[in-house]
Structure formats: C-alpha cells, structure tokens
C-alpha cells in the first residue's frame, strides 16, 4: 500500500469519526471494506470510487461592484480528495437516515458502489458543481488567487 492509499484510508477514518471515537469509525470502515472484498482489490476499488466523484473545479463567491458573483476556480488535489470523501460519507449518513434498518457500513458500501459505477447522489453533486462552474466561466477573469 503506497502513501496516497494510506492517506485516503486515514482520511476516511478521520472524517467518519464522531466525538473522537476513532475505534468505532475504524470498525465501520473495516466492515465496509470486508463487504467490498467480493468486488476485487478493496483499496483500488476505494480509490476508484473517490476518483470518480472528485470535483475538479468549484465556484467561490466574490463581491464585484456591489453584487456577488460565482467565480470558478481549480481545486488543489488534497481538497479534491477531501471533498469527495466528505460527500461520500454525507450521502451514506443520509441514506442511513432514510433506511433505519441498515448500518452505516452497509450504507457506505452502497455509496461506494454507486460512486464506482459513476451514479448516485455524490456523482450528481459533482456534476452539478461542474455545470455551475461552466455556466459562470464568464467571470473567471475575476479570479486573483
């Protein structure tokens, strides 16, 4: 396992953690990875899911001449990965709220499957963000950072 894969796993654990209960978040991730075993190599599956939902550009609000405009900007690699993992975990938590009988590990497994197949709420969120940035690309010259 290389450094990028270890960082991705650690980021999943840390973002899944609530109230400092790291052991609980590790167990959730381990159970999810155990479910992913029948789909081949677990780590590459996880990395592929994150890669499929990574946003490349985002919009930032900039105040120009009294009005606020959405200015598209490129996202650094670490932020892309953080956003993708955060979105996957948020979607898993939402799925768990709608289906009370499922555990978080089952919902996370389902979200990772959707992300790998480039479907689901997380991929839609990424595509919506890209469409918003595309529609506001006329304001890209206001970017100064």
Q: How many whole angstroms separate alpha carbon 119 and alpha carbon 122?
A: 8
The residues facing 62 across adjacent strands are: 69
Q: Is residue 135 scored above 80 in pLDDT?
A: yes
Q: Report residue 145's pLDDT band, with 50, 70 and 90 as the boundaries.
A: low
Entry pTM: 0.92
Tell me which fold the domain 3-53+77-135 belongs to.
Answer: Ribosomal Protein S7 (1.10.455)
Which sign does the torsion angle of CA 121, 127, 128, 130 carry? positive
* Per-residue exposure over 98-137, b if at least 16 CB sit within 10 Å of its own CB, e if not: eeeeeebbbbbbbbbbbbbeeebbbbebbeebbeebeeee
The whole-number pLDDT of residue 52 equals: 96
Q: Is residue 144 scored above 80 in pLDDT?
A: no
The model's pLDDT over 64-122, given as tens digits with 9 standing for 90+, comes to 889 999 999 999 999 999 999 999 999 999 999 998 888 999 999 999 999 999 999 99
Q: For the chain, which residues make up each domain, given as ranges?
A: 3-53+77-135
């Amino acid at each position: 396992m290389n450094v990028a894969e270890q960082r991705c796993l650690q980021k999943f654990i840390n973002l899944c953690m609530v109230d400092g209960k790291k052991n609980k978040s590790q167990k959730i991730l381990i159970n999810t990875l155990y479910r992913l075993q029948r789909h081949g190599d677990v780590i590459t599956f996880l990395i592929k899911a994150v890669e499929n939902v990574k946003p490349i550009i985002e919009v930032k609000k900039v105040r120009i001449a009294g009005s606020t405009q959405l200015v598209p900007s490129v996202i650094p690699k670490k932020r892309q990965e953080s956003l993708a993992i955060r979105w996957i975990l948020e979607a898993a938590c939402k799925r768990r709220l709608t289906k009370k009988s499922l555990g978080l590990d089952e919902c996370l497994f389902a979200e990772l499957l959707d992300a790998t197949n480039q479907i689901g709420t997380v991929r839609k969120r990424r595509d919506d963000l890209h469409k918003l940035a595309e529609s506001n690309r006329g304001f890209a010259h206001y970017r100064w950072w």
